[in-house]
Amino acid sequence: MNNEVIIDTNLVFAFLHKNQAKSARFFFSQQDYSFLTPNLFVYETFLHHDMILEKSKGTQEDTHTLFEKVVEKLYFVNESTISVKNFIDAYYLCKDVDDKDTPFVALSLELNVPLWTRDVILKNHLISKGFTNFFDESIL
């Protein structure tokens, strides 16, 4: 059995922090899950590279090594494979909070796959708009 999950960039940032060990252990140990993310993930991590290094608990080399391990577990999905309808729907769901989350929500809508995010503000906003397809962290 292979379950798919859309993974938000903020969650990967959390994996690089020691206090997020439970979710990181789950992510790295799972063989029954496929973790998908839109290509935007690459841009966001590049954009926030300095912040990731600053907040990480290890050296720059350790952080880069851990990040490489994260990337090896991810399946990147080109945003062009997402329908215009799902992109528009996702934009209207996200625009009042953070429209940069649109590709993650659009991918979740397109594939009907749960979104795993730690962005509480986004999550609460999406729930208020009727989007409830989130990864259930209670299984961790």
Contacts of 12 (CB under 8 A, 6+ apart): 41, 45, 67, 70
pTM of the model: 0.90
pLDDT greater than 60 at residue 1: no
Q: At CA 5, angle to CA 90 and CA 95, rounded to 5?
A: 20
pLDDT band, very low/low/confident/very high, at 83 (cuts 50, 70, 90): very high
Q: Are 8 and 116 in contact (CB under 8 A)?
A: yes
Nearest to 134 by CA among 7, 34, 18: 7
- Number of folded domains in the chain? 1
Q: What is the CATH number of the domain that holds 63?
A: 3.40.50.1010
Query: CA 123, CA 125: separation in Å to the nearest integer?
Result: 5
Predicted confidence band of residue 24 (pLDDT cuts 50, 70, 90): confident
DSSP 57: S
- Average pLDDT of the chain, as a whole number: 89
Domain range holding 26?
Answer: 3-139
